[in-house]
Amino acid sequence: MKYLKMMSLLLLSVVLVNCKEDPAPAPIADFTFDVDAGTVTFNGLADNATSYAWEFGDGETSMEEDPIHIYAAPGTYDVIFTATGEGGTDSETKKVEAFASVEFLLSGGAGNTTGKSWILDRKFNDGNDGNDGSGGVTNNLTIDIPITDDNVLDEFLLSNGYNDVLTFHADGKYVVDNSADLGGAIMSALYAEKHYTMIPFPDGDLLQLSNDLSLMPLADIVYTPKTDASWSINRKDFAIDAVDPAAGTLYRETFSGHTQLVVDEYFGIKDAAATVIIKSITETKMNVAIVFYGSLDPVLGSHMFHLTFVAK
């Protein structure tokens, strides 16, 4: 009996071992990536995984499977992708070269403790390249009236108001210094008439007024900028309520595929709102499109001014 009992226990143990499930397969981690300046889109390729972890090489991490990461400074980074599942973990490391992002080019990066300053290109263009002028409020940013003259501001008696220095800090601080030329700011003439005294300084706020308001509806007004202004970059779609000046029809224009500079202080032109699109930017030059609001009740965009700024 004792012998039979021992044999039964042995057979039972064999059966139990054979009935155990096969071990879970080990994860296999790999990834691809697409670089657009400082923005890198990662695509995790992992088998047998239930969770993911990324180390981007700049101290930042993510738990998403397919994250999008913006590098604050250009450089080559060792990126580690780790996949975890029931069968354990697996990691893949690749070198990713990120180029200068819009944020870096605009502010000079975190290492630039004094920020990076920009001023309007007084010539407006470089070799009549057609980047500056005005056009409608349209997603394609068409320039209908190009500026081909170097000193067009002098021609319209507005040159003094464009000496503003615009400084961007990597931490999101934005500083407008308009202390030159009696502290004036270029404004929409409609906005200026509604909010300021259009009597020549020093009795009023008016410093200069365009000599042709039909072509350049702007005024130079004494103005004190905010001391706590900020900036950020928006790469998502956004919409502007607008009016066609010729037909008087209202419409809503959606802007897609653009880089929007979001500021809570004026940039270039003080108006009912600050809507700026960065069309192109390098270390030394930035071309932008600024929405001009030709109707204040209701607030509607009517034109876009296309201007060039240079690093100071």
The SS3 call for residue 92 is strand
Contact between 100 and 107 (Cβ < 8 Å): no
Domains of the chain in start order, with CATH, are 28-99 (2.60.40.10), 104-311 (no CATH)
Strands 285-292, 295-296: pairing is unpaired
C-alpha triplet 297, 207, 150: angle, nearest 5°? 95
- Greater confidence (216 vs 241) lies with 241
Residue 25 per-residue DSSP state: P
Single-letter residue type at 126: D
Spatial CB neighbours of 253, under 8 Å, sequence gap ≥ 6: 137, 138, 139, 239, 240, 242, 301
Residue 12 has pLDDT above 90, yes or no: no
Residue 1 has pLDDT above 80, yes or no: no
**Mean pLDDT, residues 198-203:** 96
Q: pTM here? A: 0.80
Spatial CB neighbours of 115, under 8 Å, sequence gap ≥ 6: 107, 108, 167, 168, 169, 170, 173, 175
Per-residue model confidence as pLDDT tens digits over 269-292 = 999 999 999 999 999 999 999 999
Integer Cα distance of 186 and 196 in angstroms: 12
Q: Quickly count: other Cβ atoms within 10 Å of residue 133's Cβ.
A: 19
